[in-house]
Structure 1
Amino acid sequence: MAKEKKRGGDKSRPGRPRRTVPRSRQTSVLGADMARRIVETANEGICIVDKDLLIRYVNDRACEMVGCPQEEALGRPVSDFVYPEDLARHQQVMADRRRGVSGRYEIRLKRKDGSPLWVQVSATPLADRRKRFSGSFAMFTDISHRKEAEANLERARATAQLYLDIAPCIILAINRSAQIVLLNREGRRILECEDADVIGRDWFDAFVPPDFRQQVRGVFAELMAGRAAPVSRFENEVVTLRGNRRTIVWHNNIVRNEQGQIVGVLSSGEDVTDLRRAEEHRRQLEAQLQRAERIRSLGMLAGGIAHDFNNFLTAITGNVDLASSSLPADSPAAAHLEEIRTTAERAALLCRQLLAFAGQSALRVEPLDLSELVRESAAMLRVAISRQASMEYELAEGLPLVNADAGQMRQVLMNLVMNASEALVEGRGRICVRTGAVHCQRAYLQSAWGGEELPEGWYVFMEVADSGCGMDRATQLRIFDPFFTTKKKGTGLGLAAVSGIVRSLHGAVHVSSRPGEGSTFRVLLPTAKVAGTEAAAARPASAGGVVLVVEDEPAVRDVMRNMLEEAGFEVLAADDVGRALALYGADHRRIACVVVDFSMDCGQMLSALRRTNPAVRVVITGGSAEEELRRRCEESGAAAFVPKPFARESLLSAVRRAIAADAGDKA
């Protein structure tokens, strides 16, 4: 134990302070010459300034750095050796020294030739015995090589960034944590953001739509785990910081470090939003073109069928009229004839719907107030809908007028309201009819049926909305097709007739509907070009005279002859244009009126008749009456138009008006 104690000496005793060598003794041991030699040969520049910031000491290395001999440096303000652009920084750090604060900083010195030198400075304030600032001791290291390397690196980075920014696509880099580490200028433009907005943010949270965010994040996790290969071409939507959706085609590459570990993904993305929209627009136009061609073909077929059926119905109703007029009032056959007439009228209604779909209905276009038309139809509409349904009206006052046929617009309104009533679940619900005016943009018109070619501008609308079962997209695409119906006892012609009538008036129908949320049909019509029309004054009727009937259907021709002869007219009949012109040329002074079927080249025929007699009076009949052709016929001199099938009084009234007009002109 004694030996161990001796070996350990006093050092083993706890609490006894260790012996230290005082600084003064260290200096004396080191020696003033050795200390000076260390300072003079140091690789760092050393400088001591007094309280006035004048240089009192500077070593050889410092003089070498600035290219100034020691004798020139001593006594000069240290600011003389600071690069001018860094003087403000120098004054700031010297203020810190005066407050007794040490510091480390980078600054540029000014060489004797005026060039800058980057140095890193470690400075400590000096104080006198009263602890007052007496100067500063500074050591500085030449870091110009490091600064040059940093500048080169920055230039390389700037060049790389330039290349990234001139790329016409998104360049995106994200790390393993899905944080954005790089996004070029085009990417920022497309995503509507700035670097400060996105660098460091989670890519999926910031820009991937919520509806498939988790799915894409899962694919990314598999990539980072090395369990999946990147898809070379992938298309998906992104959401910009402003909430807009863009469609991007991505090309993805895995990024690895020097050890081969996966550290992120580098992607280039092409914005194909406008391309996809253009493709979708082209598909829509192609579908609209195909639909328009199909509707045109169906319209021609429907118009032709309706025209032929109207001829048959004209013969039927005409003979019923003739038979009824020759029977006693108490004849038992009268009831049967009336039943035939009723059935023929129902068939005629079906033909009118076909003609309406084909856009060949007989139109009497005049300026109309749609709000007033709805008010006048309210009682009729109430009867047509379910008793359990509520009927509401929101009618605008002072609406611009529209050029339309009042009867056909009532048919449009009735068809839409009945369609709404039948869509109500168990007949219960709400139907609302609205009118108003709306300024329609191009996109809105293109989404409306028949609005593809309509110009932007103000339109008057008549709208029917219901709270019924609604429709899916597939049903909406077919609702205006003739004979398409979702009802058990529907003809499939109601909405087809609506579309035909609106189309003939240069309007459109906008439909909005979702299953279970009801439907809204909005009829859009252009405003009238004129404020009103003048009604033609009626002239006194004139009975008797010679009438030339031009009709290629024998049954219809015979019925018309009988109707006119019973009314006291003398009738000449022709079954073709050539024979009609020959009859008129031979006896035109005696012929008071010509009745011609619309389909028998009436425009050409009227021109020929007028060459013989400019004052010829013509009545046109027909099962179809496309507005433009009808207008041309009237401009050629037609006095009246009688749509088929017609009653005897309709024909007689038109003929008498034409003859009376001729007599009035001669007077």
Structure 2
Amino acid sequence: MPSYNYTKKEPGEAPGKGGPAAHLTAPARLLAVLIVSIFSAELVVMIVLFLLKDLLHPLTVVLIDAPLLVLILSPALYFFLFKPLLSIVEERREAELAVLRERNKLRRYLEVAGVIVIVLDKQGRVELINRKGCEVLGFREEEILGKDWFLNFIPERLKAEVQLVFSMLVSGGADSDEAESYYENPVLTRGGFERTILWHNSVLKEGGRVIGLLSSGEDITERKLTEKALKESEARYRLVHNTAFDGIIIANAGDRIIDCNDSAARIFGYSRGEFIGIPVTTIIPEKYKELHRRGLKRFLETGESKVQGQIAEYEGIKKTGEIFPLELALNNFTLGGVIHFTAMIRDITERKKAERERELMQARLSQSQKMEAIGRFAGGIAHDFNNILTAIRGNAELAIEEIGKDDPLYSRLDGIITSVLLASKLTRQLLLFSRGQPFELVPLDMNKIISDLLLMISRLIGEEITISADLAPQVWTIEADEGNIEQVIMNLAVNAKDAMPEGGKLTIKTENIVLDEKSAESIPDARAGEAVRLTVADTGVGMSKELVSRIFEPFFTTKEAGKGTGFGLAVVYSTVKQHNGWITVESEPGLGTTFRIYFPVMMKKREAGAAHKDERSAPGKGEKILLVEDDPKVLDFTRMALSRHGYNVAAAGNAAEALEVFEKEKEDIQMVLCDMVLSDQSGLHLVDQLLEKKPDMAVVFTSGFLEASQRLLLNGKGYRYLQKPYSMLSLLKTVGDCFARGRD
């Protein structure tokens, strides 16, 4: 029987001191008090009866002795015996109720937990399992309790492995330190199916002796299936975030964390001891705190909540102050009439990162499609526009042949030809959006290109901006496409103009540079060797580091709506890369911007333009040419130019006419000069038909726009190609070279 220490001081007893029986237990003291009270009462009765012996009969004394004793003793018995006994019984009952409440509280926690909770004894028999565990396994609690866990609920192929881990954990020896506290394995359900569970194991001890194992398990079967599907469908665009336990937090109505699992503390960067007891607002970012307070107040007053019972995405703040995205499932329960809240937390940082990468890839794909559409549109414009330019240039050149240089019209006709050349460069620049225009890499003198552009740049940027050209003498030769380099310079000039709305200075500089390995390492993407450096600097508003990091992105612009497309610098960057060069940017707000572009030097340095010497071919000798061109003006110019220079021309305005002419004159026709795009069919298809009938004919194609794939096709078949707008000289040279090769 348990003993209770009765410590109440008797009246008159000095503080801190006791009587002779102060060391006795409560029951012993009560017995002593009872005996003393009886004897004291009896002594009082005896004294009274003795004093009244002369007045009372002896028989009367005997009869009133017991009642007097009871009358005197009753108050003492009540205060010193029965009342202390009642107090002891009440204290024991309260203690038993407290234990029962704690057990119920723990049971509630287990039942609302979103994970399996199971207790095994040292033999592996199930001593406890929560509702989640019963749901996952598909059995009732009474069907599980007492069963051998490994024999009944672990697949046969894994029994030995899982039991080995269990044995190491409960052994209590050195091996238990090496056993896995986090373990993943499948369990068998009632239907014979397997569910994959991620376990967190804790050894149970009593008096220093291991008595069993407590395990909490998360059913990750669906998560595993989802991860597998995501890996298969989004392997290139999505990162698979690490499998992690969900955090469980329990908070009271006072908005303090009163319990949590280790995962919750770990997610927020705390130890479990630090985490429990802190206000919930400690882990909520500032922008959500007021919303949280209002929501908690509304729920406590009305019972209404907009977030409980559903999964939503929010942000949390770690102990370090780092804000991170999380997935939250919030609910509540009442324990002992007191409202508590449970929160399931999942860190979704990796998932969000993967989603952002996928969105970026989708944006890049959308951008690529836009560029392709622009390219197709530009190609159509270029084809028609170059036909017009061909007719203008050709007729001007025919007119020049008919007059002398002293004629007043000569300079005007020459101006027309110069304007056509400038217009043709514009179409080439337009085609850069699609990269559909093949580069024509030739030896170039950077100084010459800049000198030719200075007048155009000065008119473009206005009188408020002064231009300084610092061109190095004897600058090395680079191999590049002239139109593309011109566009790079013009785009940088336009960019500088927009950066100096109040005027300023634009500096264009060239210099020969030799980079060693150490110097090349300090410049992004650079390579050691010789290069020509083009510098374009302005004294404009400058840019922040953040803007500098984005200026080469397509569609990115700092200009107002309608004043910029976001293509200019993107085209500059693309063009430099296609020429195997590299580019750097230096800028600070208020201090202007400097672009430095490096172009590798040709292996053999040559004077720019050395490869551009036109050689006039010998006139024709009456060779028969079938000319097929659906633009009447181009057809007329080309026929006249060839006829004037010794060739016999049979002209056709479409494929159908060409077939008719060919049938009549095929014995004499030695060459087909055909446009790639005809009104009734493809020029390639027409030529294939003609070559089937006469395979030894030379073939020259013309076009205002040619895809890179089409150029490869022509080269593969050995056909010559003449880009519109072509000059009369290039036309005669191309045709003459074909016949000269045939004669050789």
**1:240-255 equivalences in 2 (<5 Å):** 240=318, 246-254=324-332
Question: 1: CA distance between counterparts of 2:274 and 2:536?
Answer: 48
Q: In the alignment, is residue 498 of structure 1 matched against residue 571 of structure 2?
A: yes
The equivalent of 2:342 in structure 1 is 266
The share of aligned pairs that are identical, in percent, is 25
Q: Deviations over 1:119-167 (max 9, x none)?
A: xxxxxxxxxxxxxxxxxxxxxxxxxxxxxx9969x99998585579999
> How much has 1:636 moved relative to structure 2?
1.0
The equivalent of 1:360 in structure 2 is 436
Amino acid corresponding to residue 648 of structure 1 in structure 2: M
Question: 2: CA distance between counterparts of 1:189 and 1:374?
Answer: 64
Task: Give the superposed CA RMSD.
Answer: 6.4
Amino acid corresponding to residue 654 of structure 1 in structure 2: T
| CA distance 1:614–1:418, shift in 2 (3 Å) | farther
> How much has 1:438 moved relative to structure 2?
5.4
**1:197-208 equivalences in 2 (<5 Å):** 198-205=275-282, 207-208=283-284
The equivalent of 1:324 in structure 2 is 400
Q: In the alignment, is residue 655 of structure 1 matched against residue 732 of structure 2?
A: no
Amino acid corresponding to residue 171 of structure 1 in structure 2: I
Q: In the alignment, is residue 642 of structure 1 matched against residue 722 of structure 2?
A: yes
Q: In the alignment, is residue 598 of structure 1 matched against residue 676 of structure 2?
A: yes
**1:159-558 equivalences in 2 (<5 Å):** 159=214, 169-175=246-252, 179-188=256-265, 190-191=267-268, 194-195=271-272, 198-205=275-282, 207-210=283-286, 212=287, 214-216=289-291, 218-219=293-294, 222=297, 226=301, 229-230=304-305, 231-232=307-308, 233=310, 234-240=312-318, 246-254=324-332, 258-260=336-338, 265-273=341-349, 275-276=351-352, 288-334=364-410, 337=413, 340-341=416-417, 344-345=420-421, 347-364=423-440, 405-428=481-504, 468=541, 479=555, 486-487=562-563, 495=568, 498=571, 542-545=617-620, 546=623, 547-558=625-636
Pairs aligned (count) = 490
Amino acid corresponding to residue 733 of structure 2 in structure 1: S
Question: 1: CA distance between counterparts of 2:582 and 2:293?
Answer: 45
Question: 1: CA distance between counterparts of 2:629 and 2:378?
Answer: 21
Secondary structure class of the residue paired with 1:426 = coil
> How much has 1:583 moved relative to structure 2?
6.2
The equivalent of 2:171 in structure 1 is none
| CA distance 1:432–1:239, shift in 2 (3 Å) | farther
Secondary structure class of the residue paired with 1:571 = strand
> How much has 1:597 moved relative to structure 2?
1.7
Question: 1: CA distance between counterparts of 2:420 and 2:614?
Answer: 32
Secondary structure class of the residue paired with 1:247 = strand
> How much has 1:365 moved relative to structure 2?
5.0
> How much has 1:560 moved relative to structure 2?
0.9
Question: 2: CA distance between counterparts of 1:209 and 1:404?
Answer: 55
Contact 1:356 1:500 survives alignment (8 Å) = no
Contact 1:548 1:595 survives alignment (8 Å) = yes
Q: Relative to structure 2, which stretch is displaced further, 265-274 or 275-284?
A: 275-284
Contact 1:365 1:405 survives alignment (8 Å) = yes
Question: 1: CA distance between counterparts of 2:278 and 2:407?
Answer: 95
Structure 1 gaps of 5+ residues are 1-17, 42-148, 394-401, 441-460
Secondary structure class of the residue paired with 2:433 = helix
Contact 1:248 1:270 survives alignment (8 Å) = yes
> How much has 1:562 moved relative to structure 2?
1.6
Q: Deviations over 1:419-445 (max 9, x none)?
A: 3432434244889999998579xxxxx
| CA distance 1:306–1:496, shift in 2 (3 Å) | farther
| CA distance 1:469–1:599, shift in 2 (3 Å) | farther
Question: 1: CA distance between counterparts of 2:253 and 2:592?
Answer: 49
| CA distance 1:565–1:462, shift in 2 (3 Å) | same
> How much has 1:415 moved relative to structure 2?
1.9
Q: Deviations over 1:272-326 (max 9, x none)?
A: 5555555555555555555544543443333223312221222122212222332
Contact 1:354 1:493 survives alignment (8 Å) = no
Question: 2: CA distance between counterparts of 1:541 and 1:249?
Answer: 77
The equivalent of 2:117 in structure 1 is none
> How much has 1:237 moved relative to structure 2?
2.0
> How much has 1:623 moved relative to structure 2?
1.1
The equivalent of 1:629 in structure 2 is 710
Amino acid corresponding to residue 728 of structure 2 in structure 1: R
Q: Structure 1-normalised TM-score?
A: 0.54
**1:81-100 equivalences in 2 (<5 Å):** none
Amino acid corresponding to residue 725 of structure 2 in structure 1: P
The equivalent of 1:88 in structure 2 is none
Contact 2:523 2:584 survives alignment (8 Å) = no
Contact 2:205 2:211 survives alignment (8 Å) = no
| CA distance 1:319–1:648, shift in 2 (3 Å) | same
Structure 2 gaps of 5+ residues are 1-12, 32-203, 221-242, 470-477, 511-519, 527-532
The equivalent of 1:562 in structure 2 is 640
Secondary structure class of the residue paired with 1:357 = coil
Amino acid corresponding to residue 719 of structure 2 in structure 1: A
The equivalent of 1:4 in structure 2 is none
The equivalent of 1:108 in structure 2 is none
Question: 2: CA distance between counterparts of 1:521 and 1:585?
Answer: 64
User: Using CA pairs below 8 Å that are at least 6 residues apart, which structure has the higher relative contact order?
Assistant: 1
Contact 1:366 1:403 survives alignment (8 Å) = yes
Contact 1:357 1:496 survives alignment (8 Å) = no
> How much has 1:551 moved relative to structure 2?
1.5
Contact 1:408 1:501 survives alignment (8 Å) = no
Question: 1: CA distance between counterparts of 2:576 and 2:618?
Answer: 40
Question: 2: CA distance between counterparts of 1:186 and 1:522?
Answer: 51
